[in-house]
């Protein structure tokens, strides 16, 4: 795949700060086992605003296999695009960097390290002293509800607990851009609500930008400032939906008329996509 050409810094929007994240005409393909090219992402353009002091959360919604994880990996720098650009703060990024952190769709932790030591890993790489590392790791381990398991090994944890270790491992590094790939998929509703509240809290305090993949419409509306609805593979952006600013994001919000209206709107959009998908596969 060709190295994407370096580009000048993006022009500031309306003279203000450039978007926190911008994808410009992103094309990504894979080679299948026979060496044929499979187009996963096709001309994706999207921007996530920079809201200093509050952060912003963008959700990617779209059918299974459409290219959501592929887009997150490209932003993280784990995959090189065929063409197009990923810009953070108006600057093109190449490869991985400490400014971005990813929570993967499948659990990722070191089997031989305890929960606390797993969470400390990124801080070790940054050369942070042991005492501070331990304190910061324990704080976030407690926030994800695993205080009593700080000394446990991953094999002693359930799937949902492992996923929370992965979330803690990423958040402890305070990345400016957090990429979360269906991070709460394995959690029961109560734990999931707790983790949603944690993300909103971290976002506000750390001022990060989060790109979040979920199949859960209610979760999308609850967390997002902006939602991008993607097409079937190859992923293209079909709709960009601004979620109104909700002063208090608490569980009561889900009962409000405005929340339900947005949920229904998204359901209709996804239903239309499903009908289109059934036609594609000849059902
Ligand atoms: N390493 C790979 N090699 C070849 N093809 C791949 C690879 N990873 C993904 N693909 C293909 O790219 C397409 C998009 O995959 P991707 O994982 O991005 O989908 P997704 O939207 O995240 O799906 P899901 O919601 O099921 O997680 C799929 O058709 C998949 O088969
Ligand atoms: Mg995926």
pLDDT for 185 equals 83
Residue whose CA lies nearest to ligand 1 atom number 20? 65
> Which ligand is closest to the CA of 44, given by its number?
1
Using DSSP's 3-state secondary structure scheme, residue 42 falls into: strand
pLDDT for 106 equals 81
Distance CA 100, CA 59 (A): 16
Instruction: Identify which of 30, 37, 215, 270 to mutate to test ligand 1's pocket (most ligand atoms within 8 A of the CB).
Output: 30
pLDDT for 47 equals 96
Distance CA 133, CA 67 (A): 36
CA 8 – ligand 2 centroid, Å:
31
52: Cα within 13 Å, side-chain hemisphere: 4
Residue whose CA lies nearest to ligand 1 atom number 29? 65
Residue 136: C-alpha distances to residues 129, 133, 171, 261 (Å): 11, 5, 10, 40
Using DSSP's 3-state secondary structure scheme, residue 243 falls into: coil
Could you identify the atom of ligand 1 that is nearest to the CA of residue 71?
Answer: 18
Distance CA 60, CA 213 (A): 5
CA 214 – ligand 1 centroid, Å:
15
CA 64 – ligand 2 centroid, Å:
7
pLDDT for 253 equals 85
CA 133 – ligand 2 centroid, Å:
31
Taking CB atoms and a 6 Å cutoff, what residues make up the pocket around ligand 1?
A: 30, 32, 38, 40, 62, 64-70, 105, 233
pTM more than 0.75? yes
Mean pLDDT by 10 residues, the chain (283 residues): 42 67 97 90 95 89 95 96 96 92 86 95 94 96 94 92 91 94 88 89 88 95 96 96 81 87 94 76 53
Nearest to 169, CA basis, from 146, 148, 196, 203: 146
Distance CA 218, CA 252 (A): 12
Nearest to 47, CA basis, from 89, 79, 107: 89
283: Cα within 13 Å, side-chain hemisphere: 6
Relative to beta strand 37-48, strand 237-242 is unpaired
Instruction: Identify which of 66, 216, 236 to mutate to test ligand 1's pocket (most ligand atoms within 8 A of the CB).
Output: 66
> What stretches of 49-138 adopt beta strand conformation (E)?
56-61, 83-88, 91-92, 100-103
Residue whose CA lies nearest to ligand 1 atom number 25? 64
pLDDT for 163 equals 87
Could you identify the atom of ligand 1 that is nearest to the CA of residue 105?
Answer: 27
Residue range 145-166, pLDDT digits in tens: 999 999 999 999 988 899 899 9
């Amino acid at each position: 795949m060709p190295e994407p050409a370096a580009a000048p810094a993006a022009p500031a929007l309306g003279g203000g700060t450039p978007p926190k994240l911008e994808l410009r005409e992103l094309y990504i393909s894979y080679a299948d086992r026979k060496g044929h090219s499979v187009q996963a992402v096709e001309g994706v353009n999207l921007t996530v605003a920079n809201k200093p002091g509050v952060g912003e959360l963008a959700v990617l919604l779209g059918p299974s296999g459409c290219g959501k994880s592929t887009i997150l990996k490209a932003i993280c720098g784990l995959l090189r695009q065929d063409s197009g650009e990923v810009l953070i703060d108006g600057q093109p990024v190449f490869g991985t960097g400490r400014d971005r952190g990813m929570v993967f769709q499948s659990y990722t932790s070191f089997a031989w390290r305890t929960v606390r030591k797993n969470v400390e890993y990124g801080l070790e790489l940054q050369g942070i002293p042991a005492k501070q590392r331990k304190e910061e790791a324990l704080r976030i381990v407690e926030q994800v509800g695993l205080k009593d398991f700080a000394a446990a090994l991953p094999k002693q944890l359930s799937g949902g607990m492992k996923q929370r270790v992965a979330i803690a491992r990423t958040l402890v590094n305070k990345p400016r851009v957090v990429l979360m790939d269906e991070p709460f998929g394995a959690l029961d509703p109560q734990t999931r609500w707790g983790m949603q509240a944690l993300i909103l809290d971290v976002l506000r305090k750390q001022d990060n930008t989060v790109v979040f993949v979920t199949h859960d419409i209610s979760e999308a509306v609850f967390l997002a400032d902006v939602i991008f609805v993607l097409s079937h593979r190859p992923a293209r952006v079909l709709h960009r939906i601004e979620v109104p600013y909700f002063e208090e994001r608490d569980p009561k919000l889900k009962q409000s008329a405005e929340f339900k209206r947005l949920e229904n709107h998204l359901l209709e959009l996804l239903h239309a996509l499903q009908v289109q998908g059934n036609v594609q596969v000849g059902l």
